Amino acid sequence: MKIPLLVAAVWAFLVQAEDTTSPLTFTYSTLTNHTVAPATTTYSLNSSIASSITTSGIGKKSSSYAHSAPTSYTVNPADLAYPSFSNVVGPLASSAPAPGLLNATQLAYEALALILQLKVANSTNCQTCKNVMSTVAARMKVQQETLSDIATPFCLPLQSFLPMPICIGLLKVGSTDIGGIFPAMDMQGDDDQIICAFMFGSCELPAPPQLDLHTLFKGTKKPAPRELSTCKKEPLKVLHISDYHLDMRYVVGSEANCTGPVCCRVFPYTNVSTPIGEPASLFGNYLCDTPEALATSVFRSVPRVTGYEWGDFSFGIFTGDLVSHDLWELTEPYVLSEELESYQQFFDGMGGVKLYPTLG
């Protein structure tokens, strides 16, 4: 969960709604007695908190954000299911896609050997890494999905410290993109030396390339600086939304202080009998992505936090990100559902302000 939403979480807890007669109702997953089950909570301010906030002098009293949204989307629970990964079977594991290339099992053992170098950078390990990467790139040129093919034999020896679904999932997610890039790289030059340095610690980083800026910008002139004049127009008020990262698999009461890359989850391989050190709250935790309760509550806090009514904003921009961080568990239905639900929350929460998704 990014810092902007974390800060907003504090405000969301205190100022849930501008209209205290309109409580928020959340349906979410919760971990109770080692079992994940649905639950519903209705949250509203008590009169004393509402009174103290209203008279605190923070910002202006805003108008209600309620309006008629142009769309209506309802999440299909089946779209939130975790993926299942099958083992590599058949000829992919025992034979190569072309003469002279390693099969999936051999290639996996070659890759594991790089890990066993224990990040010792020397000329021997560096050349070994380059040779292995050259072999991987050669196979990817013939068969782009090489990483998916070697996933199971590669991940099996690592499962004591890296769960199989995470390992296999990451290789499968990156298989198509990496399989298209590796064959175009110089695997005996600087390209591979950088890969081996960062991924396996087998090589030293190459020296940065020397750029001749006079040649690079030859024939161009530095533009003259523009003189700035004072603008008498009222500045536009633009609402900037970033790093939404809605987590539709968030589980209230699950471990919020985990050792994995994403917390506040109950994965299919999670040991639910393990005692919970820090239970995930309804409104989110620092090491977790954004639960629905926090996401929808943020919009009710915007007028109070910014000091402007919704009608004061000219427009909003959304610069990403949107999907949760569990890259190895993403499926097409889940990603589409996350996008549609997030945009629906934007429609419902922004008081009719136009929002422009942007890149860059």
* Residue 352: partners with Cβ closer than 8 Å, 6 or more residues away: 67, 310
pLDDT at 11 over 50: no
Predicted pLDDT of residue 56: 30
Lowest mean pLDDT among 168-182, 201-215, 217-231, 335-349: 217-231
pLDDT at 103 over 60: yes
Predicted pLDDT of residue 360: 56
Predicted pLDDT of residue 3: 45
Average pLDDT of span 251-270: 92
In percent, the amount of the chain with pLDDT more than 90 equals 34
pTM of model > 0.75: no
Residue linked to tokens 């422009």: 356
Q: pLDDT band at residue 248, thresholds of 50, 70 and 90?
A: very high
Predicted pLDDT of residue 191: 93
Angle at 42 between CA 39 and CA 45, to 5 degrees: 145
Nearest to 314 by CA among 240, 244, 243, 242: 240
Q: How far is CA 68 from CA 92, 296, 353, in A?
A: 54, 16, 12
Bridge partner residues of 256 (DSSP) = none
Predicted pLDDT of residue 67: 55
CB atoms within 10 A of CB 174: 15
Instruction: Choose the most confident range, by mean pLDDT, from 70-84, 167-181, 232-246.
Output: 232-246
Average pLDDT of span 254-263: 92
Lowest mean pLDDT among 1-15, 32-46, 256-270: 1-15
Lowest mean pLDDT among 39-53, 139-153, 160-174, 315-329: 39-53
Bridge partner residues of 25 (DSSP) = 42
Bridge partner residues of 279 (DSSP) = 255
Q: pLDDT band at residue 41, thresholds of 50, 70 and 90?
A: confident
313 against 214, higher pLDDT? 313
Average pLDDT of span 59-74: 55
Predicted pLDDT of residue 86: 53
Nearest to 356 by CA among 235, 239, 245, 246: 239
pLDDT at 238 over 80: yes
Predicted pLDDT of residue 109: 81
The Cα 157–Cα 162 span in angstroms is 9
Average pLDDT of span 328-336: 92
